[in-house]
Amino acid sequence: MREYLYVDQLADLTPWSPQAIRTMIARGLFKENVHYFRPKGAASRPIFSWMAVVKYIEGQEAKPACEGAVPLAGGGAIDLDEAAKEVHRLLR
């Protein structure tokens, strides 16, 4: 089993179609930096973490990839440590 999957590969392993998976992303059911990642930015294809999807299916809470992160409604997350460093840098 692969640890990371593209949408079409995920669709082959779950009861969802590729379009259903994309709809779940759009509705915020799958969260960026929790269930899927875009390592090359917003325009890149989403890459799903199989373990996070399994936790979603089983009803377990998945945590953001970064421990100090606060999840956002749109699916992203804010790293509080990094945000604080940036604020301090800007205030100097």
Between CA 43 and CA 3 the distance in angstroms is 22
pLDDT score of 78: 76
- The residue ranges of every structural domain in the chain are 4-91
> How much is the average pLDDT of 28-42?
91
The residue among 44, 50, 38 whose CA lies nearest residue 5 is: 50
pLDDT, tens digit, 9 for 90 and up, residues 1-25: 789 999 999 999 999 999 999 999 9
Q: What is the mean pLDDT of residues 35-57?
A: 93
Find the Cα–Cα–Cα–Cα dihedral 11, 12, 15, 19, rounded to 10°: 30
The phi, psi pair for 37, rounded to 5°, reads -135, 155
48 pLDDT higher than 70: yes
